[in-house]
Amino acid sequence: MRESLRLIIGERNYLSKFVYINDIMKNGLDIIDEVGDNHMMTSEDTPLRSDAFELSDEEKITEIESHFEKIMHTLGLDLTDDSLKGTPKRVAKMFVNEIFGGLNPEGVPSASTFENKYNYSEMLVEKDITLYSTCEHHFLPIVGKAHIAYFSNGKVIGLSKMNRIVDYYAKRPQVQERLTIQVVKHLQKYLGTQDVACVIDAKHLCVNSRGIRDIQSSTVTSEFGGKFKDPTTRKEFLNYLQMKVGL
């Protein structure tokens, strides 16, 4: 099959450049595999169908349980074994209620903001936020840390809310670049300022445990808005990330 494939590669200023690939086969490799192996992002928004929420969570669990049972059967596993017979149900519940719970817009954390009555005008940094996500190309874990900073424009947000926002967007099939952008855009919306930054440093098990099997490498992504586009402000933020707290 030959067709044009348009890949939208987001730049940091939210402009986009378009790459048109006319051959669906490139160097003998299917371009779809190449997108996955190179961890390419095709959209800033999580790709969801218009009917994504027509089924209830319980209905989704039932469907996924059935499909996963077929996968295990195809692999040759004995589903009558005591250790395996409950696995399809466990996986289905985990997908819907836990690791992909961030797909449901009803689960978005309330981003309660407060008036900055103490007139704090310096950078606020929340660093080392634990992050667990799932690579959308291979459905293997992404594990790392997120670091967020912002300047108040009259509003402040509770510290734990930033952790919850990271967790919400992480709990879905993800690409790390998209996750970084989504966290920043969410905070910009609720804080009413462009002065938000996020850096994520994470290990991808689709790189660490398969393919090249490089267990040492990690991936760093960043998104800088407003004042953080200034090199001096950006350097200040990155310097804070090097600080260690001795407790």
- Specify whether 198 is catalytic: no
Which is it for the CA torsion 23, 26, 29, 35, positive or negative? negative
- In the set 65, 69, 136, 223, the catalytic residue is 136
- Specify whether 186 is catalytic: no
d(CA 59, CA 9) in angstroms, rounded, equals: 35
Strand partners for 203: 143
- Specify whether 136 is catalytic: yes
- In the set 176, 182, 186, 188, the catalytic residue is 176
Which is it for the CA torsion 216, 98, 95, 35, positive or negative? negative
- In the set 69, 186, 206, 223, the catalytic residue is 206
d(CA 215, CA 196) in angstroms, rounded, equals: 31
Which is it for the CA torsion 223, 205, 29, 172, positive or negative? negative
Q: Which of 109, 110, 112, 119 lies closest to 153 in space, CA to CA?
A: 119
- In the set 147, 177, 188, 204, the catalytic residue is 204
Residue with token string 């099939």? 173
- In the set 126, 138, 177, 223, the catalytic residue is 138
* 102: amino acid identity, one letter: G
Residue with token string 């905070």? 187
- In the set 65, 135, 174, 188, the catalytic residue is 135
SS3 content of the chain, % helix, strand, coil (to 5): 35, 25, 40
- Specify whether 138 is catalytic: yes
DSSP class of residue 108 equals P
- In the set 65, 69, 137, 177, the catalytic residue is 137
Residue with token string 């992002």? 41
- Specify whether 204 is catalytic: yes
Active-site positions read 135-138, 176, 204, 206
